Chain A
């Protein structure tokens, strides 16, 4: 009888112990599942293409995710989708295709910092790019990190302090095509020392550098370089305006729009600001620089069929 009671007690104890362990382990699995943010691939189906040096993605870092969704949704017609694993990250889509990421992060108290768009450049090997950046005077702000389906990425700063990210996309990079209105069409890097910076970016991405000033440009083209890969212009590299204003080196991305002036007006009506009034840029193209309600700068740029270079038949 005693033996039987003892066995029943043991059985109950072991069962309880197993149940507790099971509950704890299940909780741990759920917590881990909840923490693993799953970003969609850049291309679906996988492109299998690689375009080193191409601007392939942009993430907004903002303290107000809902406000940013309202602003960019109304301005560019973007729609948004939450990402499993991180309620602070939203995917922006244009006609169902991923176009950008919006990431909510608390602004650190007591520090003067400002929201910004983070520019992602394609690489094949993030670790090598990280190493190369360090060797050529850059910094690693966030070490390489892997996201299932998206790929491996790191956040770096160039020798001037301009922040950018590198991404080795798991399914390959998006193919080269002309952006439609609402998509990113151009990126500019504005720095204090353009010549030195061209060397840095050339060493990381193998860019061909086209110096607009020495190729017959005007005085206004001084310190304006075009960084290209695969025979396509990937970004511009400019000296920061030489004035008395307090300026910081940065990447600036442009969304293609049908009318820069109309977009600027709309941005203001939505709570944004105009940083550079709509103006004629190179070869008659019109652009403007705006800031969203959180203060993140971005550009808008018009592009017409006549602007497109015709390939020889």
Chain B
């Protein structure tokens, strides 16, 4: 009987340890770095931000232009205006570019 009790105890402790370990591993997914003003605890998706209301987003005046240069555009000094990417998907691209963070 004593042996049976001991094995139950060992089994229960072992099971508890395994489940606790699993809970810690799963919880670790969301714990890295913490959340932000609204995200501490990391439950679900974090990062949705509404813009302040009461502002006008349209009604642009005539001649107001926001688009990218099109075609081969050059300034007086011959400096080419950068264009948007132009190759087809799967055609390869530059690697490891950029100079920022």
Query: What residues of chain A have their CB less than 8 Å away from a CB belonging to chain B?
Result: 4, 7, 10-11, 14-15, 17-18, 21-22, 25-26, 28-29, 32-33, 35-37, 39, 48-54, 59, 61, 83, 85-86, 88-89, 103, 105, 107-108, 111-116, 118, 122-126, 128-129, 132, 140-146, 148, 152-155, 163, 165-166, 175-180, 185-186, 188, 190, 203-208, 210, 212, 214-216, 219-221, 224, 226, 228-233, 236, 238, 241, 243, 245-248, 250, 252, 254, 274-276, 279, 281-285, 287, 289, 291, 297, 299, 301, 303, 306-311
Query: What's the Cα separation between A42 and B36 when bound, in Å?
Result: 23
Query: What's the Cα separation between A226 and B79 when bound, in Å?
Result: 13
Contact check, B46 vs A142: say whether CB atoms are below 8 A apart.
yes
Contact check, A176 vs B61: say whether CB atoms are below 8 A apart.
no
Contact check, A233 vs B83: say whether CB atoms are below 8 A apart.
yes
Partner among A113, A153, A233, A245 whose Cβ is within 8 Å of the Cβ of B47: A153
> Which chain B residues (44-95) contact chain A, with CB distance < 8 Å?
44-61, 63-77, 79, 81-95
Q: Which residue of A lies closest to B66 (CB)?
A: A188
Contact check, A112 vs B52: say whether CB atoms are below 8 A apart.
yes
Query: What's the Cα separation between A103 and B34 when bound, in Å?
Result: 20
For residue B98, give the distance in angstroms from its CB to the closest CB of chain A: 3
Q: List 20 A-B contacts (CB under 8 A).
A: A14-B9, A36-B30, A37-B45, A53-B100, A59-B48, A88-B44, A105-B50, A111-B53, A123-B101, A144-B33, A145-B34, A153-B47, A163-B49, A177-B85, A178-B84, A204-B100, A241-B64, A282-B69, A283-B71, A307-B70
Partner among A15, A54, A142 whose Cβ is within 8 Å of the Cβ of B49: A142
Contact check, A248 vs B51: say whether CB atoms are below 8 A apart.
yes
Query: What's the Cα separation between A141 and B39 when bound, in Å?
Result: 10
* Majority-rule SS of A interface residues: mixed
Contact check, B67 vs A18: say whether CB atoms are below 8 A apart.
no
Partner among B16, B20, B77 whose Cβ is within 8 Å of the Cβ of A18: B16
Query: What's the Cα separation between A210 and B79 when bound, in Å?
Result: 9
Contact with A along B3-46 (1 / 0, CB 8 A): 01100110110011001101100110110111111110011111
